Chains A and B, each alone.
Chain A
C-alpha cells in the first residue's frame, strides 16, 4: 500500500478512537451524574418503589371492672385496604361489588386517602366477613394494590350494655381528624363517647410500622432487612373501672321498656358502681362497621337512645330536693328542727293555691321529710328565701358539672336572685315563684349524676368526691399502675343538721308513713327520699328516688329517675332497693322467703387490680406475619 494511504489510515483510526472516546466519556459522565450526584434521589425512589410501610394498628387497651374482671375485650377484624398508587381505578366497580359497597363511596375513600399519601394504604372497608376476605385474597393478582390488615374490634364480655358509660369506638370523622391531629389517619378507629372517648389517648396505644419488600405488582415478597427496621405497635393502656357490672346489668334490666337514668356511687370515694341511661343501644353494633342506616336510625330515634340521660339531662328534682331547703334553714338558723307546720293539704299564697298530696297534720322537719309534706316546705321556703336556698344547692354541687370522667355533662340549672333578675327582669318575677322551688319544682334542673353525688354527700355527712368510673390505669409499656386521683371536698354543716336530715331520710325508707317503703332492704338500714317531678309536658310525672345504704357507714349511694311513670315511691324507690340488695348481698333477695339476713354477711366488693396478665397475643391480633392467609 502507498504511504499516502497509510497516513490516511492512521488519521482515520485516530478519529475513530476519538469518537469512541467521546461517546464513552458521555456515558461515563451520565453514570457519574446518576450514580454519584443524584444517587440519593434515585435511592429514595427505589425505596418508594419497593419498600412499603404498612402501619400496624396497636391493640386498644382493655377495660376491667372493680373486681378485675375483663369487660371490654378485643377481637381481630379484617380491614380491606387499597394502596392508591398501585390501584387501577378501572377495578373500582369490581372491588365495590366484592365488598358490597357503593362505587362512589369507594372512590371517595380512595381519594381522601390519596390526598394524604399515595404510598399509604387506605382503609376502604372495615370488619369484612370471611367470605369477602376470601374473595379479595383470591383476586389479589388481578386487583393490584388491594390488600387487607388485621385490626382489632371491641368485644364486650358482660351481660350489661353500659353503652353510655363505656362509649363506643368508631371510624374517625373528618372533623375529628383535624381536631386530633398527629397520629391519626383516615380510617382509624377512635373512641367517640363515654370512657372510650374520654380516655382515647390512653386506650389507643401507638401505631407501629412494618416495612415490607414488594415486587412490581405490589405483592409482598418478604420483610425489609429481615424486619430489623420494623417498629412494633405499642399496646394501649388498660383501664380499671369502679363499676360493678352485675349491678349494672340488674339496673338495666329494671329499666326494661322505660325511659330514665340511674347512677350508683360508692360514697366513700365517688367511684361509679352503675350508670344507666335508657333507652340505650347495643355497643357491639359499633365494634365493626356501623351501617349508615343503623347510625341514622339511632340519631333519628325520637326516644334518643344516644342521649346520655344520666349526665346530660336537666330534670326538676321534685321532693328529693327538699333536704337542700332543710339544710339551708337549719344552717342559717331560720327555724329549729322542732319548728312545726300544720298541713291542711294545701297552701295559699295571695290568690294562688299550692297543693299537697295528703293532709299531713302537724309535722316537724324530720316528719316533713319522712312523709314528704309539701306544705311544710312551702312555708319554709318563704322563710329561707331564694338566695340562701340557692347557695346551699350550690354547695351540694348543683348548677355546675360534677366532673365525672366522661365528656358529656350538663351543669343543670340552679336559680338565684341574680339569675331571676337576668331572666325575667327585676320586676318580672315575684316570691310567688318560691313555693314551687321549695319542693323542687319549677325552674330548677338537675341531672341524675348530680343527684347521685348529692345522695353520696348526704350519706357521707358532707364528704364529697368527684364521681368517676376509672380508678387506675395500667401503663402497658412500663407495666406500672397509675392510680387516678380525684378531687375531694367537704360540705361543712353542723353535725346536728346532718343528723336531722339523715334521720328524716332514714324514716322515708324504714318507718311506717315513709314514702319509700319499697326501697327497704331486709337486714340493712337504708335511707332515701322520693320525688315526683311534675312534667310540664303533661302525660305522667317523673319518678325520682335518691338514697344510700347502709345508713351507718354507707357503701352505696343512688339516684334513680324514671320518666313519665308516676310516684317516686312506686317506681324509682323499689329499683333503688333492689340495687341495694344486689350490691350489698350479691343478689336481689326481696322475693326470696328463704333469705335470712342474720346469717348473710354483707358483701364487700372492694376495688381490685388483677396481677398483670400476659394476654395471649392472638386473642386480639393475629401476629403480623400471619396476617396473610396462606
Chain B
C-alpha cells in the first residue's frame, strides 16, 4: 500500500512543504501575537486550507490538459495584468491588486505559473532548440511581456523573480553558457554602473575575462561585451532622465543603508532580530524584536526574522534545510520526468520558488538589498500561498506521471 502510494505521491516533497507551511503558521502566530493583528493568523489558516485544495486540484489535472491549457492560461493572465493596471487597487504605492469582496488578489502571482507553463510548452515544441537566436528571442519575449506589465505597476520584486527564474530555465532548456552570459552581462553591467564607477570597471573586467575564456566567435564575443559596456555607460543618462521619486526608488534599492528610517531601517532591525537570536534563540513568543514590532509588517516579507530570533541559529537552519530539501527535490524531479514539457515545467516552478527563497532570506540577513518578495509557504499572504501551493500541486502531478512519455 505504502509502496503504491510512494509510486504516485511524492511524499518527500509533500512532507517538506507541509513542514514549511507549519513553520509559517507558527511564525505568523508569533509575529502577530499581541500586535493587534489577530485576524491575520485566522486568514492565513484559511489560505493554507484553500491552498491545500488548490494543490490537490492541480495534482489531479490530467497531463494532457496541462499542455493544452498552457498558452491560453498565459494569455489570460496577461489580460489580467493589463486590466489590473487599469482597474486595480493601489496598495503601498503599487497597483497590483484586485478586490474580490474581502480578499484582494494579486494576478502577478498567478502569472508566474502561467509564464513557466507557456515557456515549458514553447521549449517542448518541435525544433525549439535554444541555440537559435530566434527561439531565444521568443522565449525571452514570453518572460519579458509580463515583466514589462508588472514593472508598470510597479512591483520590482516580482519582476526580478521572473528574471531570476529565467536563467536556470534557459540553462535547463539547453542554452549554452555563452547565451546565459550574454543575457546576464548587460543586467550586471547596468546594476554595477548605478552603484558606482569602480564596481562597474571591475564587472566589465571580469566580464571580459569570462568572454575570452569561453573562446566563442570573435564577433559575437565583441558584440556581447560592447553591448554590456554601452548599457552600463548609458544607464547614468537614463537615471538622470528619471523623475526624482523613481531615482529615489533606485537609490534605496542599491543602498538601503542610506535611508535608515525607510527600507534600511527594516534591514537593520531584521539583522538585529536574527543576530540577537544566537544559537538557540530567545524562545517562542519571547523575541523582543518580533514581539515589540520593531520590524513593520513582519508577518509578510520579514517572517524569517521570527525563526531567526526566537529559535536562533538552530531554528533558522531548520527552515533553510527544509527549503534545501524542497528545491533539490524539484531539480531531481526535473531530471526524472520523461516529457520535456514536464521537465522544463518542474525546473521552472522550482526556480520560481527558489528565487523567492534566496532573495527573501538574502534580504532578511542583509546580503541583498530590500526587494519586496515573500518567503514561500511562510509569509502571510493569500495570493502567494495559493500560487505556491498550486505550483506544488503541479510538481506532485509531474511526479505522479513522471514515467509517462
Contact = CB atoms under 8 A, between A and B. Distances in A.
Nearest to B35: A215
A275 B129 CA distance: 109
Interface string A209-245: 0000111100001000000000000000000000000
Interface residues of A, number: 38
Given A17-B331, A214-B292, A39 B317 contact: no
Contacts of B332: 13
B334 interface: yes
Interface string B333-369: 0110010000100010000001000100110011100
B362 A38 contact: no
A41 B275 contact: yes
A35 B305 CA distance: 12
A28 interface: yes
A17 B328 contact: yes
Interface in A22-54: 23-24, 26-28, 30-32, 34-36, 38-39, 41-43, 45-47, 49-51
Given A12-B172, A30-B367, A45-B272, A39 B279 contact: yes
B14 interface: no
Interface in A533-572: none
A43 to B, nearest CB: 4
Interface of B is mostly: helix
A285 interface: no
Max count, chain B CB within 10 A of own CB: residue among A19, A31, A43, A47: A31
Contact of B276 (A1, A31, A39): A39
Given A34-B275, A35-B278, A35-B279, A46 B288 contact: yes
Interface string B306-340: 00100011001100100110011001101100100
Contact of A27 (B171, B269, B334, B361): B361
Given A13-B331, A17-B328, A216-B293, A31 B278 contact: no
Given A13-B332, A39-B278, A19 B294 contact: no
Contact of B288 (A13, A24, A35, A213): A213
A12 B338 CA distance: 15
A92 B354 CA distance: 48
Interface of A is mostly: helix
Given A12-B171, A31-B274, A50-B289, A20 B294 contact: no
A180 interface: no
B320 A42 contact: no
B104 interface: no
A47 B65 CA distance: 57
B277 A49 contact: no
A9 B335 contact: yes
B296 to A, nearest CB: 8
A27 B276 CA distance: 17
A36 B361 contact: no
Contacts of A46: 272-273, 275-276, 288-289
Given A20-B354, A23-B358, A27-B361, A50 B294 contact: yes
Contact of A16 (B168, B274, B365): B168
A35 B168 contact: no
A218 to B, nearest CB: 10
B152 interface: no
A10 interface: yes
Contact of B172 (A16, A26, A45, A214): A16
B257 to A, nearest CB: 15
A417 interface: no
A342 interface: no
Given A20-B354, A35-B313, A35-B316, A42 B276 contact: yes
A15 interface: yes
A17 B327 CA distance: 9
A45 B343 CA distance: 48
Interface string A479-522: 00000000000000000000000000000000000000000000
B279 A50 contact: no
Max count, chain A CB within 10 A of own CB: residue among B269, B275, B366: B275
B404 to A, nearest CB: 13
B89 interface: no
B294 A34 contact: no
Max count, chain B CB within 10 A of own CB: residue among A12, A15, A34: A34
A12 B343 CA distance: 12
Interface string B215-242: 0000000000000000000000000000
Contacts of A41: 275
A20 B328 contact: yes
B274 A49 contact: no
Given A9-B335, A23-B358, A49-B289, A16 B275 contact: no
Given A13-B334, A15-B171, A216-B292, A27 B275 contact: no
A216 B367 CA distance: 24
Contacts of B362: 27
A16 B347 contact: yes
B357 to A, nearest CB: 9
B294 A36 contact: no
Given A15-B171, A20-B327, A23-B358, A39 B289 contact: no
Given A16-B331, A34-B275, 6 more contacts: A9-B335, A12-B172, A16-B168, A24-B323, A50-B294, A215-B294
The 9 closest A-B pairs by CB, nearest first: A42-B275, A46-B276, A50-B288, A34-B275, A39-B278, A215-B292, A35-B313, A42-B276, A13-B335
18 contacts: A9-B335, A9-B343, A27-B367, A31-B274, A31-B313, A34-B275, A35-B274, A35-B277, A36-B278, A39-B275, A39-B277, A39-B279, A42-B276, A45-B275, A47-B288, A50-B288, A213-B288, A213-B292
